[in-house]
C-alpha cells in the first residue's frame, strides 16, 4: 500500500498539538514513505531469528498451542483459505512431540453448533462470517477455547466431556458475546483467578466457574512509544501507549507478567511485549520480543523450554500463513528474545 510521507516526528508533534488545542486526542493516522518497500526499512530493535519452518500443511493464521492435561500439545488457529470473511469454525490438532500432528477434525462448527455466531455482518460492502483466532487453554482440569466472530464480538467455549476434542458449548447463558471486539485470550494467575483478555489488551476478571465476567473490561497500557513507524498506520494518537493493536496474550514467569500484542513495527507484523509486577500495570516500555510472530501464544514444552508460535503475516516473514514455532529465552533482565543457538 502506498501512502504519502509525513515524518514521524512531525506526526507525533501534530498529535500533541491536537490534544493541546482541543483537550481531546484526535485520530491522526501514520503515513509511510511512498518510495520504500518493507525490506528497505532498518531492523532497529529487532533481535535475530532462528530458522522457522511450517509444522502443518494446512494454512492457518493466529496459531495457538497449549499443553493439555494428558501431556500432549494441542494446536488451533484461524482457518483458511477465506480467513477474513468465511470459514467453518474451529479445527484442532494433537501432537506428542511438536513435530507430528494428528488432526482431530472440526471440534466446533459455526453452522453445526452456533447460535448468535451464525449471523452474517457486512464491512465495506463485503459480507462476512468468520471465526477468528481460536485459542485453546487447559485450565482448572478442562479445555477452553476463546475466539471471536467478525463484527459480532468474543466468546468462550468449554469442553462438556473434559476432552480436548469436545464437544464444546458456550460458558455463558444465555448464549451471547462476552465482549465486543476481537482476539480473545485467557490467563490464570497463581491464586487461580482467571482473566479474559481481548484486542489490544482489554482485561476483565472472570468468576470462579468461568461463566461470566465480574469486572468491566479495561485497557492495559504501557510506556508510550511515540515513533509512528512502530505502530499500525491506523493508530490513533491516543493509542501510542498500547502494547499493540491486536492479538493479545499474557503469561507469568518469576513473578513478572508478560503482556504481548501484535504490531506493525516498520510495517512488519511483530510480537511486542511489555512487562509488569502487577497484572493491571503499570507496564514497561514495549519491545520486539519475537520478530514476525504477531498474534502468537507462548507455552513450555516437556523440558521447560519456552516456545512462541508464529504464522507469518508480512512480506519478510520466514513462513506465510502457516503454523511455525520459535524457541525463546530470557536475557539477564528477563526480557524475551528468540533462541538462535
Report the catalytic residues: 62, 246
Residues present in the chain in total: 341
324-330 β-sheet, strand order = 298-300, 306-310, 324-330, 336-338
Dihedral Cα 68, 73, 74, 78, nearest 10 deg: 130
DSSP secondary structure letter of residue 184: -
Strand 222-223 and strand 298-300: pairing? unpaired
Alpha helices in 203-337 (DSSP H): none
Cα gap 17→72, rounded to integer Å: 54
Burial 187-226 (b: 16+ CB within 10 A, else e): bbeeeeebbbbbbbbbbbebeeebeebeeebeebbbeebb
Amino acid at each position: 500500500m502506498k501512502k504519502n510521507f509525513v515524518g514521524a516526528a512531525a506526526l507525533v508533534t501534530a498529535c500533541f498539538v491536537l490534544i493541546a488545542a482541543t483537550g481531546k486526542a484526535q485520530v491522526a493516522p501514520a503515513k509511510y514513505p511512498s518510495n520504500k518497500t518493507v525490506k528497505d526499512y532498518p531492523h532497529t530493535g529487532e533481535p535475530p531469528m532462528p530458522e522457522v519452518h511450517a509444522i502443518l500443511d494446512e494454512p492457518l493464521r493466529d496459531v495457538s498451542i497449549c499443553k493439555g492435561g494428558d501431556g500432549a500439545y494441542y494446536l488451533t488457529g484461524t482457518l483458511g483459505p477465506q480467513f477474513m470473511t468465511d470459514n467453518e469454525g474451529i479445527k484442532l490438532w494433537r501432537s506428542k512431540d511438536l513435530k507430528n500432528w494428528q488432526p482431530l477434525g472440526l471440534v466446533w462448527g459455526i453452522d453445526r453448533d452456533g447460535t448468535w455466531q451464525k449471523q452474517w455482518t457486512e464491512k465495506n460492502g463485503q459480507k462476512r462470517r468468520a471465526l477468528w483466532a481460536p485459542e485453546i487453554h487447559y485450565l482448572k482440569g478442562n479445555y477452553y477455547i476463546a475466539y471471536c466472530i467478525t463484527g459480532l464480538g468474543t466468546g468462550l467455549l468449554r469442553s462438556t466431556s473434559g476432552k480436548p476434542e469436545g464437544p464444546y458449548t458456550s460458558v455463558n447463558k444465555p448464549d451471547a458475546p462476552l465482549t465486543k471486539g476481537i482476539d480473545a485470550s485467557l490467563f490464570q494467575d497463581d491464586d487461580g483467578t482467571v482473566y479474559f483478555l481481548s484486542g489490544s489488551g482489554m482485561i476483565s476478571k472472570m468468576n470462579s466457574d468461568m461463566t461470566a465476567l465480574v469486572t468491566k473490561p479495561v485497557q492495559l497500557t504501557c510506556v508510550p512509544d511515540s515513533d509512528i513507524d512502530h505502530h499500525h498506520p491506523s493508530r490513533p494518537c491516543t493509542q501510542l501507549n498500547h502494547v499493540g493493536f491486536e492479538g493479545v496474550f499474557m503469561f507469568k514467569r518469576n513473578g513478572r507478567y508478560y503482556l504481548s500484542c501484535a504490531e506493525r513495527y516498520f510495517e512488519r507484523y511483530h510480537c511486542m511485549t511489555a512487562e509488569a509486577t502487577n497484572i493491571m500495570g503499570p507496564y514497561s516500555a514495549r519491545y520486539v520480543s519475537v520478530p514476525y510472530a504477531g498474534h502468537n501464544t507462548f507455552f513450555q514444552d516437556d523440558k521447560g523450554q519456552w516456545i512462541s508460535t508464529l504464522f507469518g503475516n508480512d512480506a519478510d516473514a520466514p513462513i506465510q500463513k502457516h503454523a511455525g514455532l520459535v524457541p525463546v529465552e530470557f536475557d539477564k533482565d528477563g526480557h524475551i528474545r528468540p533462541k538462535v543457538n
